[in-house]
Structure 1
């Protein structure tokens, strides 16, 4: 899924999914790239199947009226959070979120790399966003 507005973008690619015969079936790994007003970050995260299904249901409610919001977050606390929402009664849309990664620096030292992002986007993109996440939730891995 690629959401782009000018030089700002959010790209989420589902790269792995836990098969049905294993514990936690449907949990999905995403590669994520973000650029927001000149700030750029990339990383990966896992989103559990229940959260992903809930996000798709929220997107279905958001799409027809373009009012409200849809939110999803990663299984690891504070690693990834995403919210797609209407900014006004006219149905203009925006996305906000957070992507982080903790890196070891040495003995008992760690650095938390963090990018908080947000930008408006054309509401015409909303149906394709819904379709992309529907496909992932049903087991199809994405290609950007």
Structure 2
């Protein structure tokens, strides 16, 4: 989990200018996942090749909305983007969500993460809410909430 937080922080700083508070947030989130993990309805998948980390995705129970799961920590290494790893991770995540009986899946992303947004749309996610631009992680951003039915 520490590595997941680290890779998010390194790449999001280099590509988008996210400041160090983002790494702190990711570290807390991954620790929360470990501390509260429910194996009957939650998972973290890591894509690897020959021991090398390629990407990850988490599915967690939405503790505020019954029947809804959340995609969290979706990430694909820059050097392996375009090879279908993101597609494989999202497919695996949604298949598990169906298998354990979730009715819908939601996620939060940022307007500028265009590759991830295209993939979410490809899998039937739709924007449910767009936040007003605000300062977050050291820069102005527009946050979006996406969702799809299963």
Per the TM superposition, whether the score is higher than 0.5 is no
More strand by share: 1
Question: What's the TM-score, normalizing by structure 1?
Answer: 0.26
Question: What's the TM-score, normalizing by structure 2?
Answer: 0.25
More helix by share: 2
With a CA cutoff of 8 Å and minimum separation of 6, indicate the structure with the bigger relative contact order.
Answer: 1
